[in-house]
Structure 1
Amino acid sequence: MSRPDDSAERSAEAGNDFRSYYGQPIIKEPTWKVPDVPAYLYLGGLAGASSSMAVLAELTGRTHLNRTGRVAAAVGSTASVVALIHDLGRPARFLNMLRVFKPTSPLSVGSWIIAPFSSLTAAAAASEITGRLPLIGRLTSISASVLAPAMTTYTAVLLSDTAVPGWHEVYRELPFVFAGSAVSSAGAVGMLATPRGEAAPARRMALAGSALELAASHRMEQRAGVIGEVYREGRSGKVVRAAKVLTCVGAGAALLARRSRVAAIGAGLCLTAASAATRYGIFEAGRVSARDPKYTVVPQRERLANEGAASG
């Protein structure tokens, strides 16, 4: 029986031996713009996890953390929509995506997640800030939290549903990476904007999210075979490594944040930067994989070989 490491080694060897006739890309590189789409990926995840944090804080009587979560969810989701619309070019294109609901299309489903979520979090934050209509604020906050898990991970499904090898080949792990990054970023905001006496849940979120993100990222790169190169080499590799270092430093500081406001601020800043870097690194790795025909052909050949061996 072959080990996963053996499969990764065979994939790497196949990648080293690959030659194309002209070296031209087989698939078209995504036309999504920087920083619009990386910001959209980061802000949406932050908003979703912050919404969950707000509801849990309200249930446990942490008023400051509840306010932080509501405001972060509203600002994050609204800014996420703005970034998406800016990438699309005009608001009408976003509105057109809401004309029809297609369960088989991650883009359609995502549009129907982000639109009501943004409206609900905006209403919850407005109630929290003004002090008016508290019942409406509570109901909209709870309603938004129902959509929060999907909000944190649907962008991972959106990326992995494309033909881009750097995203499609890691479709199993990518939602877990995004979920961990989102939870970590929400915990970071909670530590930055909430008094230490109420920030314990935010610290736990930061630590749990960091652990999930690091574990899922490690698994993703191990299982990716030759595709793993785009997460280790070049500019995208440098950004991904920087994100991991910042995550480790931020998690370490979070362990000290209970007794030190300076540590809490340091942890919050490191984990915020790490989450943004994770999204940008993954986005850039996908674009790199689309440019090189090796990353399209070698995994396909490997799958065909495995299917042939299984049927034989």
Structure 2
Amino acid sequence: MTNSDFDAYRPPEQPRRKRRRDRLSGAAGDMLRRRRRGGDDGGREMSMVDDVEFTSYYGRPIVKAAPWGDEISAYLFLGGVAGGSGLLAFGAQMFDLDDLRRNARFAALGAVGAGTVCLIADLGRPERFLNMMRTVKPTSPMSWGTWILSAYGTVTGIAAVSEADDVLGEVLPLGPLRPMLRTAADTSGVAMGFLGAPLAAYTAALLSMTSTPTWAGARRGLPYLFVSSATAAASGLAMITTGSEQTKPARLLAITGAAGELIAMDLMKKDMHPLEREPLEIEEPGRKLKLAHALTIAGGVGTLLFGKRSRILAAASGAALMAGSALTRFGVVEAGHLSTTDPKYVVGPQRDRLEERRAAGIVDDSITTAG
């Protein structure tokens, strides 16, 4: 017998038990066989094998974990901040809140730029990002996200350059292009408002359309969680960078986003199978999400009570909202990775859903009739 490096994964074999053959015949043998089938009348049959606990092949994971690390978690957070800041900038543009509009546009540009760097760092080579722009696949959240991110970055850059030109006293060498830039900046501000929500939400679809058990189980509630979290984080950043005299829209949005994040998380968990929900509540992901929950509550309450009265407390509340949003993204991503490590997270929900379909009388498809 030859050995290889792969034999290290092979568990030790258990000694085989000799099969005991029933040598009874006649009436005694017939009675014993009827009992094994489940009754003396022979009308019921028992399972040919014992009900055993499911284990995967050599104890290896059934579902391969997504190759996404902290860079993607940071991208999810920064993309949410960028999208929420675009929405705030659009609102400030509509109500002539110049300071809030300018700071929100700068925040959106900084967040989308840093998020793009994180995304490219995860891809490994910058040209891979460009390769994703060669085609448009309507069924792929990643393809949609690439184009949304690129379009949002373009319009945000135009709006931010216009703001920078104003701040610097029109020292940029724009010449006759300056009036065109002003017009383009207003149009870009409107586009930022419309593209902000898709930028914050598409990452939820990107996660939930994978085979990762926890992400797939959260597919109904995850978009609401990410959008609410992004709104709270962007509003918190606006409260840090802008004086309280112009942050009333940001404060209202921060309170709404914080409440929406808490409600969305609760409803999302209730909608999930217990085994799909478990990774969100245990080990490191559970600790991060509990801390995110506490920070979101603290930031929302602080904004409600002190957002207008004190610039320092408003900034502290905004920082708490941003930290809570970041921990939410990191916790959800890590919970998904954790759910691929144990076969029970994959098999348990599938078995229960199969039984539910059969109990509901759905027995005419390949799912319920297999086996």
Q: What TM-score bracket applies, with the shorter chain setting the length?
A: over 0.9
Q: Which has the higher mean CA deviation after the structures are superposed, 81-90 or 125-134?
A: 125-134
Whichever residue aligns with residue 218 of structure 1, its letter is: D
Matches of 1:56 and 1:308, distance apart in 2: 51
Any idea what the Cα deviations from partners look like across 1:275-305, whole Å, max 9, x if unmatched? 1000000000000001111111111111111
Q: Which residue of 2 aligns with 1:218?
A: 266
Matches of 1:181 and 1:238, distance apart in 2: 18
Structure 2 counterparts to residues 132-211 of structure 1, below 5 A = 132=178, 133-211=181-259
The answer to whether structure 1 residue 70 and structure 2 residue 105 are counterparts is yes
Gaps of 5+ in 1: 1-16
The answer to whether structure 1 residue 288 and structure 2 residue 288 are counterparts is no
Matches of 2:336 and 2:191, distance apart in 1: 34
The Cα shift of 1:141 comes to 1.6
Q: Which residue of 2 aligns with 1:9?
A: none
Matches of 2:114 and 2:359, distance apart in 1: 49
The answer to whether structure 1 residue 115 and structure 2 residue 150 are counterparts is yes
Structure 2 counterparts to residues 252-291 of structure 1, below 5 A = 252-255=301-304, 256-291=306-341
Any idea what the Cα deviations from partners look like across 1:148-180, whole Å, max 9, x if unmatched? 110110000000010001100110000000000
Q: Which residue of 1 aligns with 2:299?
A: 250
Matches of 1:249 and 1:162, distance apart in 2: 33
Matches of 2:342 and 2:110, distance apart in 1: 37
Give yes or no for contact 2:233–2:254 (8 Å, CA) kept in 1.
Answer: yes
SS of 2:339 mapped into structure 1 = helix
CA RMSD of superposed structures (Å): 1.2
Which structure has the larger Rg?
A: 2
Matches of 1:80 and 1:119, distance apart in 2: 14
Matches of 1:286 and 1:163, distance apart in 2: 10
Matches of 1:146 and 1:232, distance apart in 2: 35
Give yes or no for contact 2:81–2:108 (8 Å, CA) kept in 1.
Answer: yes
SS of 1:290 mapped into structure 2 = coil
Greater relative contact order (CA < 8 Å, ≥ 6 in sequence): 1
The Cα shift of 1:223 comes to 2.0
Which protein has the bigger helix share? 1
Any idea what the Cα deviations from partners look like across 1:29-71, whole Å, max 9, x if unmatched? 111122x101100011110111010010111111000011111
Q: TM-score, normalised by structure 2?
A: 0.78
The Cα shift of 1:18 comes to 5.2
Q: TM-score, normalised by structure 1?
A: 0.92
Q: Which residue of 2 aligns with 1:60?
A: 95
Whichever residue aligns with residue 182 of structure 1, its letter is: A
Matches of 2:119 and 2:244, distance apart in 1: 34
Matches of 2:212 and 2:240, distance apart in 1: 36
C-alpha distance 230-18 of structure 1, shift in aligned 2 (>3 A): farther
Give yes or no for contact 1:166–1:285 (8 Å, CA) kept in 2.
Answer: yes
The answer to whether structure 1 residue 308 and structure 2 residue 345 are counterparts is no
Q: Which 4+ stretches in 1 moved above 6 angstroms?
A: none
Any idea what the Cα deviations from partners look like across 1:100-140, whole Å, max 9, x if unmatched? 00000111111111011111111111111112532221111
The answer to whether structure 1 residue 32 and structure 2 residue 68 are counterparts is yes
The Cα shift of 1:262 comes to 1.9
Aligned pairs, number: 295
Matches of 1:121 and 1:18, distance apart in 2: 54
Matches of 2:68 and 2:135, distance apart in 1: 22
Give yes or no for contact 1:18–1:294 (8 Å, CA) kept in 2.
Answer: no
The answer to whether structure 1 residue 89 and structure 2 residue 145 are counterparts is no
Give yes or no for contact 2:90–2:192 (8 Å, CA) kept in 1.
Answer: no
Q: Which has the higher mean CA deviation after the structures are superposed, 131-140 or 114-123?
A: 131-140
Matches of 2:353 and 2:257, distance apart in 1: 33
The Cα shift of 1:23 comes to 3.3
